[in-house]
Amino acid sequence: MGSSLPRLIPVLLASVIGLSTPGCNRQGGEEAHHHDHIQEEHGPHGGMLLKEGDIELELGIHEAGGPPRFRAYLSDNGKPVSPDAVSLRVTLRRLGGLENEITFVPKGDLLLSVQEISEPHSFDVTVEATYNNKEARWMYPSYEGRTTLSPEVARESGIETEAAKAQVIQQTIRMRGKITPSEHRIAHVIPRFAGIVKEGRKHIGDPVAKGEVLAVIESNQSLQPFEVRSQIAGSVINGHLIVGEFVPENQWVYIVADLSEVWADFFIPLEERSSVKVGQEVLVKGASGEETFKGTVDYVAPYADEKAQAQLVRVVLPNEKKLLVPGMFVTGDLVVGQREVPVSIRPSGLQTLGRWNVVFAKYGEIYEARPLELGISNGEWTEVTSGLTAGTEYVTKNSFTIKADILKHGATHDH
């Protein structure tokens, strides 16, 4: 059992004969007794040692080589008692009102629980034993991965909670890529005639309206000035003119791009290319990760990058707010399917405790680690396949505070 057990409280049933605690006043055999100062002891098999007169019951959870189960050994005056002569029952009361009734069967020289002991191994324990027409009952707390925080401390620590719930989770493939201008929305501005620059009104980064004058050039043929206008609205992404320089025939002087729609070029490993199809949704995030942009696969290259052994996947993204700029590195989650799961959590609440992924369930002012088995995840929601039920309140923000408090007090899994 866990090392955080503070004490044992053996309680004798009224009908106990010969198992009473020395010095207790039984008053006609009707009064049950509580021992409040018995120190925790362990038996030769590493389990909790429960004593009552000459009777000793060693009880512990054994995990090596199989699922966790209780093992129990009874001795009388230092001599082992045959498991066939003992009737044993254990009740585990967990946070949230859940109770587990544990029964035992003889196995060799010990009693073995029929039921597996599910995580977390944190509960109030009641032990009822019958041997040679004598009955005994013990009660003790066995807590691990548990701590208590007042509402004020939780609020000051920035702890936030919500309930686990059913959720539709999209199954995705993570890709990495870069933003580029849409080649369908790029204009190369070429003067009608060769000539000398009289005015260059725009520079890289400047916004441009459709039909706006970008430059004035004096024709080399007529020696008359003419205006160079943009045929689209957008921004100057390349080009500049200096007064007095010569512009030859058929050469662009500005490149204007409409960045209200951009491309995200990703490369996907060849082993996953069968999952990609034109028209699929992709959820794109920039370096800051603060906002998600939804786009669709517009193009899948028919060839692979030889060095990277990856295939180009191009995603078209709306960009009215101009938050996506060419050259920006982005990540993209390609949606390849979706599934409704009965229990899901926010990944922000996950912590590791020992070998487990856990969240911290909240019951009033008590927080307790819940070891989880996890399923699919899309970064926003993660499926829980075991360890938590829908409706259970758990910590979603600043869960590391709870973990630190548990580790500080040493209330972790050690059996």
Would the pLDDT of 66 be above 60?
Answer: yes
Overall fold of domain 183-257: OB fold (Dihydrolipoamide Acetyltransferase, E2P) (2.40.50)
Residue 261: pLDDT band by 50, 70, 90 thresholds? very high
C-alpha to C-alpha distance for 203 and 189, rounded to whole angstroms: 13
Q: Give 16-23 contacts, CB < 8 A, sequence gap 24+.
A: 16/134, 16/135, 16/136, 17/133, 17/134, 18/53, 18/134, 19/52, 19/53, 19/55, 19/134, 19/135, 19/136, 20/52, 20/53, 21/52, 21/53, 22/53
Reported as type and span, the H/E element at residue 152 is: helix 151-156
> In CATH, which of 2.40.50.100, 2.40.420.20, 3.40.470.10, 3.40.50.920 is domain 147-169+340-409?
2.40.420.20
Longest dimension (CA), the chain: 128
User: If you average pLDDT over each of 63-77, 122-136, 339-353, which comes out highest?
Assistant: 339-353
- Are residues 408 and 366 in contact, defined by beta-carbon separation less than 8 angstroms? no
DSSP, collapsed to helix, strand or coil, labels residue 336 as strand
Mean pLDDT of 365-393: 94
pLDDT at position 38 is 43
Mean pLDDT of 204-210: 94
pLDDT at position 308 is 85
Would the pLDDT of 360 be above 50?
Answer: yes
Structure tokens that stand for 194 in this block: 């060769």
pLDDT at position 403 is 94
Mean pLDDT of 278-287: 90
Which part of the chain is CATH 2.40.420.20?
147-169+340-409
Residue 306: pLDDT band by 50, 70, 90 thresholds? confident
Q: What is the mean pLDDT of the chain?
A: 87
pLDDT at position 39 is 55
Mean pLDDT of 373-383: 90
Radius of gyration of the chain (CA): 36
Residue 240: pLDDT band by 50, 70, 90 thresholds? confident
Q: How far is CA 268 from the centre of its chain?
A: 24
Structure tokens that stand for 252 in this block: 């662009």
33-42, 154-163, 402-411: which range is least confident on average? 33-42
C-alpha to C-alpha distance for 213 and 227, rounded to whole angstroms: 6
Phi, psi of 377 (to 5 degrees): -150, 150
Mean pLDDT of 137-157: 94
Would the pLDDT of 367 be above 70?
Answer: yes
Residue 142: pLDDT band by 50, 70, 90 thresholds? very high
pLDDT at position 258 is 96
pLDDT at position 337 is 84
Please count the CA atoms within 13 angstroms of the CA of 125 that sit on its side-chain side. Answer: 27
pLDDT (tens digit, 9 = 90+) per residue, 101-124? Answer: 999 999 999 999 999 999 999 999
Strand arrangement of the beta sheet that strand 207-208 belongs to = 186-189, 254-257, 234-238, 207-208
Share of the chain above pLDDT 70, in %: 89
Residue 19: pLDDT band by 50, 70, 90 thresholds? very low
Distances in Å between the Cα of 401 and the Cα atoms of 147, 346, 349, 411 are 11, 17, 11, 14
Q: What is the dihedral of CA 88, 89, 92, 97, to 10 degrees?
A: -170
Mean pLDDT of 215-225: 96
Which part of the chain is CATH 2.40.30.170?
173-180+260-338
pTM across the whole model = 0.64
Reported as type and span, the H/E element at residue 175 is: strand 165-181
Mean pLDDT of 245-256: 95
Overall fold of domain 9-143: Immunoglobulin-like (2.60.40)
C-alpha to C-alpha distance for 272 and 182, rounded to whole angstroms: 25
C-alpha to C-alpha distance for 412 and 122, rounded to whole angstroms: 10
228-242, 266-280, 286-300, 394-408: which range is least confident on average? 286-300
pLDDT at position 4 is 34
List, in sequence order, every residue forming a beta bridge with 234; answer none if it has no partner: 208
Identify the CATH homologous superfamily for domain 173-180+260-338: Efflux pump adaptor protein, beta barrel domain (2.40.30.170)
Neighbours of 329 (CB within 10 A): 11
Mean pLDDT of 228-234: 96
Which part of the chain is CATH 2.60.40.3340?
9-143
**Helical H segments across 352-409, by residue range:** 399-409
pLDDT at position 411 is 57
